[in-house]
Amino acid sequence: MGEMTLPESVPLITLGQCNLFPHGLLPLYIFEPQYREMVGYALEHSRIMCVSTRLPAGDQDDDDAVFPYSTAGLIRACVRGEDGTSNLILQGLQRVRFGDWVQKEPFRIVNIEPIPSLNPQPERAVDLQRRLKDAIAKSNIGNAQMLQQLDETASPEVLVDVVGYHLIPDPYARQPLLEMDDVCDRLEFLLRAFASV
């Protein structure tokens, strides 16, 4: 999935321990009134929104205490219930950094800055990708079908996003991957993570 033109600002939902990565899918059940309104706004505009992750030491009632990096996601599907709730699928598009708040009530809208994914050392990335695939295969994580799909993934960038999102279960442990623009840095981060498994 290539980088795309994103809006300057997007609605933002704040969750405790949850993040979204490019190339990932996140199912959400929307029931709180302000988030119902937020989903309606997103559907009427760009269909793009972000999920922010609260800082672990942050006040659970302070929606400003969030990690400043996330992923802009496209509402790929949304089914609204008669009671006003929604089930939706958010598809991760591109890493972003949060800027200033545009509004906080009735729901949050934040300015975003797209973070490009850089691969200045493609040969090194291919070598790190091979080493990461070997480390995953030796770790006994995942099922055979998933391991085959990872093995067939040609793009180092896609591989790190899929592996980080699906095979690092702790959202706080994988959050640093959202803050790295260099693909090789992300591959090395994951190699260190799987070396300790």
Tens-place pLDDT, residues 109-123: 999 999 999 999 999
DSSP labels for 15-51? ESS----TT-EEEEEE-SHHHHHHHHHHHHTTSEEEE
pTM: 0.88
Do 70 and 52 meet the contact criterion of CB atoms below 8 Å apart?
yes
Nearest to 51 by CA among 5, 13, 96: 13
Instruction: Return the half-sphere exposure (C-beta side, CA atoms, 13 A cut-off) of residue 142.
Output: 24
Superfamily of domain 9-114: LON domain-like (2.30.130.40)
Domain ranges of the chain: 9-114, 122-195
pLDDT in tens, 76-108: 999 999 998 999 999 999 999 999 999 999 999
Q: Is 114 helix (H, G, I), strand (E, B) or coil?
A: strand
Q: What is the DSSP letter of 101?
A: E
pLDDT over threshold 60, residue 60: no
